[in-house]
Chains A and B, each alone.
Chain A
Amino acid sequence: DAKTTQPTSMDCAEGRAANLPCNHSTISGNEYVYWYRQIHSQGPQYIIHGLKNNETNEMASLIITEDRKSSTLILPHATLRDTAVYYCIVRVAGSNTGNQFYFGTGTSLTVIP
Chain B
Amino acid sequence: DGGITQSPKYLFRKEGQNVTLSCEQNLNHDAMYWYRQDPGQGLRLIYYSQIVNDFQKGDIAEGYSVSREKKESFPLTVTSAQKNPTAFYLCASSFGVNYGYTFGSGTRLTVV
Contact = CB atoms under 8 A, between A and B. Distances in A.
Contact of A99 (B94, B104, B106): B94
Contacts of B41: 105
Nearest to B48: A98
B45 A43 contact: no
Q: Is the interface of B mostly helix, strand, loop or mixed?
A: strand
B98 A44 contact: no
Instruction: Please tell me the size bucket of the interface on A.
Output: 20 to 34
Contacts of B98: 32, 93, 99
A45 interface: yes
A87 B42 contact: yes
B101 A101 contact: yes
Contacts of B42: 87, 103-106
Contacts of B58: 100
Interface in B40-82: 40-45, 48, 50, 56, 58
Contacts of B56: 97-98
Nearest to B104: A43
Nearest to B33: A100
Contacts of B35: 103
A42 interface: yes
Interface string A83-96: 00001000001100
Contact of B99 (A44, A99, A104, A105): A99
16 contacts: A32-B98, A41-B108, A42-B105, A43-B106, A44-B43, A44-B90, A44-B101, A45-B103, A49-B100, A94-B97, A98-B48, A98-B56, A100-B45, A100-B58, A103-B43, A105-B42
Q: Which are the 5 A-B pairs with shortest beta-carbon distances?
A: A43-B103, A103-B43, A103-B42, A104-B42, A46-B100
Interface of A: 32, 34, 36, 41-46, 49, 87, 93-94, 97-106
